[in-house]
Amino acid sequence: MRKKFIIFLILLAGIAGLVGFWNWKSNSYSKEILKLEILGPESIDLTEEFNYVVKYKNNGNIRLEEPKLIFEYPEHSLLEEGKSLRQEIGAEELGDAIYPGEEKTISFKARLIGKEGETLIARAELTYRPKNLKARYESSTTFTTVIKSVPLTFEFDLPSKIESGKDLKFRLNYFSNTDYPLLNLKMTAEYPSGFEFVESNPPSLEKVEWKLPPLNRAEGGRIEISGKIRGEVREQKLFKAKLGIWQEGEFILLKEITKGVEIIQPALWVFQQINGSPKYLVDPEDQLHYEIFFKNVGAETLFNLSLMTTLIGDIFDFQTLKAPEGDFTLGDNSIVWDWKRVRALQFIEPGEEGKVEFWIKLKKDWEIPSLEGKTEIKNQVYLSQVKEEFSNKVNSKLEISQKGFFQDEIFGNSGPIPPKVSEATTYTIIWLAKNYYNEVKNVKVKAFLPQNVKLTGKIFPEEAIEKFTFDSQSREIVWNVGDLKVGNGVLNPAPNISFQVEFTPDETQRRSTPDLISEAKISGEDSWTGEDIEAINPSINTTLPDDETITEEMGRVQ
């Protein structure tokens, strides 16, 4: 009896297990039934616009309720302002449920940044609850895109060989050919041992970092770095630089370059001076006497050399060039001295020195190249394997225009014309100040009044009174113009002041044309060169050469 009871219990447990298995089978769900994938290009160019397409399909026969999609852009993405890398999509776009057989796609516009060959991964995750189940399920996928090209030019302009101890000036050039504007650009440099940083243009942050302006298609620029380098002969010096975008506290690398420079044994030493000085500060009106010296500092005699210098820029007046032993070529603006004409270049013994020379002037006036000023002249010298570049700062040019009138619309003058002894006649004096090539600080205009001339107190404009002074003992007038930017009075209206003077001639001045005001002198400090510069305009007498209504006879005292 006991045996039959045990067999019954075993059969009962088996039946219960079969029922439970059937119930579990009918209520189980496989997340493989929902197919989720990301579609997109496998490779793109830097900042190229494209779409990630998230596609999903319910391949089962169960409704998937409360769906929620999370899409994550790759880390190095350029997104619209206010948009985050993580995008959550809910019922508004997905609906309350994904029905059996339902298929849908959602697009995400994207642009990626990074270096060439870099792989960037997008991720998608879809969560849901199958009908009649409490548990939420999750399907996820990824998609990898490679940056196949970075249409940016980034390169060193750096000599491959240089002598130890020499000044080294090199450039980092950059240029964009991508359609999308690049913002928050940063460039960094890494120097080899033995390199001493001196300066850069534009100025750097901590000598190794530069913030660059926004870069549109077909735009570029350069960083110019100056320094000295030292090392052993045949030693290789590696310069490195990186160009990238600063994004949310992270530097995203776009381009990285490296260039080596070999330290070589010097054979020739070249230096230059203008008007007897290697750092001559040039005035626009100067006659420039260039002397280019060369010396054999090697151990062997050098034979049959040619020396060439190229004058850089368009402010030289090549019509004034004089190079007695050199041949000048207009166009590339170079002068060549050949050993056949210059004895000192035929052979140079160790320790021997020679020179070539030429003379040239600058143009009387040239177009203002930049509102930043900092005008300079440059030339490059080539001798055998030696290349040197020299630069000299150029002073700005000040001008003062001094004019006198009887007939004018400012004050309305009175008195006899021609002027008469012991009778007062008033005149208007007008000053206009001009500045050309560099910013000039603390600009002043000065002149003197003769004994029989005095100020009436009328000044225009009225606000200029505060900048106008007169010393009755020295009889000096001073107009404190202040600082003048590049092109003030040339590219825009000139700072000006008008004042009235009264002239009462005495008997000694009868039948003469006395001065109403002395020559006017404008002066100031050039902020680029540090030099004090000045200009003069002639005195004005009673003939008033600028007043067309007054003849010379009308200016003679009666």
450 vs 429: CA distance, rounded Å: 14
- The per-residue pLDDT for range 132-145, each reduced to its tens digit, is 888 999 999 999 99
CA dihedral 69, 72, 77, 80 (to 10 degrees): 40
Domain 31-149 has CATH 2.60.40.10: yes
Quickly count: other Cβ atoms within 10 Å of residue 331's Cβ: 5
Q: How confident is the model at residue 30, as a pLDDT? A: 60
Q: How confident is the model at residue 3, as a pLDDT? A: 53
What superfamily would CATH give domain 268-393? Immunoglobulins (2.60.40.10)
Is it the case that residue 419 has pLDDT exceeding 70? yes
Q: What is the mean pLDDT of the chain?
A: 92
The pLDDT confidence band at residue 74, using thresholds 50, 70 and 90, is very high
- The per-residue pLDDT for range 347-360, each reduced to its tens digit, is 999 999 999 999 99
Q: How confident is the model at residue 298, as a pLDDT? A: 84
Is it the case that residue 185 has pLDDT exceeding 70? yes
Q: What is the DSSP letter of 23?
A: H
Same topology, domains 152-264 and 268-393? Answer is yes
pTM attached to this predicted model: 0.62
397 vs 486: CA distance, rounded Å: 10
Q: What is the DSSP letter of 9?
A: H
Which residues are registered as beta bridge partners of 291?
Answer: 273, 357
Q: How confident is the model at residue 113, as a pLDDT? A: 95
Q: How confident is the model at residue 444, as a pLDDT? A: 98
Domain 398-555 has CATH 2.60.40: yes
- The per-residue pLDDT for range 158-181, each reduced to its tens digit, is 999 888 888 899 999 999 999 999
522 vs 433: CA distance, rounded Å: 8
b/e code 93-114 from CB counts within 10 Å (16+ = b): ebeebbeeeeeeebebebbbbb
- The per-residue pLDDT for range 203-246, each reduced to its tens digit, is 999 999 999 999 999 999 999 999 999 999 889 999 999 999 99
Rounded mean pLDDT, 75-91: 90
What does DSSP say about strands 161-163 and 250-264: parallel, antiparallel, or unpaired?
parallel
- The per-residue pLDDT for range 428-482, each reduced to its tens digit, is 999 999 999 999 999 999 999 999 999 999 999 999 999 999 999 999 999 999 9
* CATH architecture of the domain with range 152-264: Sandwich (2.60)
**Domain residue spans of the chain:** 31-149, 152-264, 268-393, 398-555
Half-sphere exposure of 131 (CA within 13 A, CB side): 12
Q: What is the DSSP letter of 63?
A: -
Is it the case that residue 23 has pLDDT exceeding 90? no
230 vs 240: CA distance, rounded Å: 17
Q: Which is more confidently placed, 255 or 12?
A: 255
- The per-residue pLDDT for range 95-130, each reduced to its tens digit, is 999 999 999 999 999 999 999 999 999 999 999 999
* Nearest of 90, 96, 136, 112 to residue 45 by alpha carbon: 112
Share of the chain above pLDDT 70, in %: 94
